[in-house]
């Protein structure tokens, strides 16, 4: 009963569309088209006016640039770094999430990253910078990275620093380091520049605010959509509701923690079916410890 279902033989449900490869090919195709039009047809001004995100573009009604800015890159190095990160993080994350949720995470990170950058530059930036555009896929990378680190916080990542020194760390440490660098860059470089101060260093026009917006989208996605239980459980623990006195007798008779009767096969099968349906909807990683234990115990009992 447990292992005759396809989504129990593999960790993730069967999916009909692999959005990872679709996004990757769009990512590569957009960069090639940008260079063909920009180099061969000298259409760079057209692309920056109609595809890149800027306060001036949005104020003239080009609201689609809140998404399309992610299709452009500042050069081969910019494209290569984002491409490698998307291939490594996105490929793993696409197997952990439902296909549509994976796509929604990317689009949400791009949107919130663009809106964050746009809001800060529109409210704080001087008018002479309104035409300064932002481009790149980095906001989506930030959202994917934050979500991946939250799903797999205690894993182990090993790599060669500068291709020489072996370094090992867990995803939670990587999350704090990346977000910390972006926060420092935003406060002391990007924000300082917008306020007219001399930045502590030049950062080659890095849009730290867009990175932080994408990271926030990844956090919201994880807390609200991917793992809603811990958020609401933490709120429920702090709230205590006292029932009316006239209902106390009824409530006292019905109190008690519900537990699955593992000796009753009918009740056990109902609980297992519920857990399997949850895996089919939300993925294996959505199960809590008690549900995983029920599956383990049920696997042994139902074989007898």
Condensed to tens digits (0 to 9), the pLDDT of residues 52-93 reads 999 999 999 999 999 999 999 999 999 999 999 999 999 999
Residue 143 confidence class, pLDDT cut points 50, 70, 90: very high
Residues 31-43 have pLDDT tens digits of: 999 999 998 999 9
**Looking at residue 303, what is its pLDDT?**
58
Mean pLDDT rounded to a whole number for the chain: 82
Within the chain, all domains assigned CATH 1.20.1540.10 are found at 16-229
Residue 109 has pLDDT above 80, yes or no: yes
Q: What is the mean pLDDT of residues 277-282?
A: 74
Q: Which residue has the higher pLDDT, 278 or 101?
A: 101
In sequence order, what are the residues at sequence separation of 6 or more whose Cβ sits closer than 8 angstroms to the Cβ of residue 302?
1, 2, 265, 268, 269, 272
Residue 47 has pLDDT above 70, yes or no: yes
Predicted local confidence at residue 302, as pLDDT: 56
Q: Which residue has the higher pLDDT, 187 or 249?
A: 187
The CATH number of the structural domain formed by 16-229 is 1.20.1540.10
pLDDT tens digit string along 145-185? Answer: 999 999 988 888 776 666 677 777 788 899 999 999 999 99
pLDDT of residue 22: 96
Check pLDDT > 60 for residue 224: yes
- Give the pLDDT mean for 129-141: 95
The answer to whether the beta carbons of residues 36 and 304 sit under 8 Å apart is: no
Q: What's the average model confidence in pLDDT over 186-191?
A: 93
Q: How many residues does the chain have?
A: 304
């Amino acid at each position: 009963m447990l292992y005759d279902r396809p989504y129990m033989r593999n960790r993730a449900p069967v999916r009909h569309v692999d959005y990872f490869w679709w996004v990757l090919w769009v990512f590569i195709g957009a960069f090639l088209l940008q260079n063909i039009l920009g180099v061969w047809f000298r259409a760079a001004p057209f692309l920056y006016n109609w595809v890149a995100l800027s306060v001036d573009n949005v104020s003239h009604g080009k609201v689609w640039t809140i998404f399309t800015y992610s299709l452009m890159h500042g050069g081969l190095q910019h494209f290569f770094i984002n491409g490698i990160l998307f291939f490594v993080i996105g490929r793993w994350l696409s197997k952990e999430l439902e296909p549509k949720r994976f796509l929604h995470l990317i689009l949400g990170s791009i949107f919130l990253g663009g809106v964050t950058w746009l809001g800060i530059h529109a409210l704080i930036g001087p008018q002479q910078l309104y035409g300064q555009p932002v481009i790149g896929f980095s906001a989506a990378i930030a959202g994917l990275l934050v979500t991946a680190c939250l799903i797999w916080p205690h894993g182990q990542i090993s790599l060669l620093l500068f291709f020489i020194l072996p370094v090992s760390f867990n995803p939670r440490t990587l999350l704090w380091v990346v977000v910390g660098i972006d926060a420092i860059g935003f406060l002391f470089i990007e924000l300082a520049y917008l306020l007219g101060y001399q930045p502590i260093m030049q950062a080659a026009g890095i849009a730290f605010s867009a990175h932080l917006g994408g990271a926030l989208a990844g956090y919201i996605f994880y807390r609200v959509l991917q793992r809603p239980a811990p958020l609401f459980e933490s709120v429920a623990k702090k709230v205590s509701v006292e029932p009316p006195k006239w209902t106390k007798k009824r409530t006292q008779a019905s109190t008690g923690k519900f537990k699955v009767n593992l000796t009753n096969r009918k009740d056990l099968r109902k609980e297992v079916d519920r857990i399997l349906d949850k895996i089919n909807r939300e993925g294996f990683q959505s199960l809590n410890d008690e549900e995983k234990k029920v599956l383990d115990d049920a696997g042994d009992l139902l074989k007898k």
